[in-house]
Structure 1
Amino acid sequence: MIRKFVTDTLQDGSRLNSKQVNRLLGVTWRLMQIQQNKVATEPLIKAVYTLYQQRNLLFPVRTLLLKFFSRVYQKEDSKTQRIRSRSKVLSRWLAGLPQQLALLGLRNPELSNQLIDIIHSAASRANKELLQSLQATAVQIYDPLDGTLVLLPAEAQRRLVQLVYFLPCLPASLLTCLSRCCIMGRMSSELAATLIGILRMR
């Protein structure tokens, strides 16, 4: 009964405030710890993802959902390869982060920073779905005119430059974008030097 109440409420949770969502996510997490198998946990993750996909969520709610997914991902990723069974919903969520980052632009720098942190963590773990998505979105993110890189503050720029190291490949279109970011002064000379160093390592 509790499981059904939680999933139904989350799936129809557009009117929930941050306190209500926080309580629901707490119960969801506990339910996932009680039955740690994919059959039991996947419907719960899917219910949270349904809420996450809704537009116009309040920032505190969006942040809570991001933290929940990040926690689930980190726990799942810590399992040994022998017992790991990747959640399809979690993989879909993770793969969607680079596109969300590219579309977010300057609208919410704090949320962008949270996305960058999660993307960086997954990229450093060589998550296949995330890296494929990051590769597909790279030209948007590093566009010298209105890409995420040139819109965000210096610290976020530094983290985005570090992500270049993890990209599966560096096509000419992306290299052109990165070159123009340097030439047009869209990043500091120090950060441009860091980028050049990363490209040389590649």
Structure 2
Amino acid sequence: MAKEKFVSPKEKDYFDKVHRWGVMWTIGAILMLLSIPVLVCIKLNVFPDGNALKQVLPQLMTLYWLTAIAEVIAYVPMLGAGGTYLSFVTGNISNLKLPVGLNAMNSAKVKANTEEGEVIATIAIGVSAIVTTIIIAVGVVIFSLFVGPEVLQAPAIKPAFDFVLPALFGALAASYFGKYWKLVIVGVLVGVIVLIFSPAMGVGTLMFITIVATLAAGFGMYKLKWL
């Protein structure tokens, strides 16, 4: 029989507060996001066509439900409760919050899904959200005053924006590829095989399949003492 993990009263109180405030802010963010288009529709007296919504929504919901499930499965063990709530409320998870949380834990030499990792990831993501907001606000003001749209849309600059995500994930993934190369091989092979037989598969579905396959492979390798 597996031994239950002891949770101190202080730790339980911390997680209770995190979940309570996390749920409240998540609901608040959802209501705010939904209220903007609703208010615009009411103000302009323009509403989406019901028949068009019936045709489009089922496909979009199927894609985003799978993506949402895959993101929760992938992000929660790495970012912890506080980091996950902050990430989902502030957005930019894969290209900003996830790298920030992982790099902070790596720099502090703590592991994910531990008390230390929980605190470090939450602080790092919170600081990242504040810094990002300040930088964006300052950048918008500066660009609006001194830089015109013709400069940002120039053909010479456009390739730089196309390589932002590959540069972020390449730098982040390099260290993990070196540490866990066996799991990386499984994930890449599964992704390639799935795309060979189903090249039109959505990114959300593909991500879910590769995550589940990698988790299963990791569990099997751990049992066989290959990791």
Higher-RCO chain (CA-CA 8 Å, sequence separation at least 6): 2
Q: Name the larger-Rg structure.
A: 2
Q: Which has the higher helix share?
A: 2
Shared fold by TM > 0.5? Answer: no
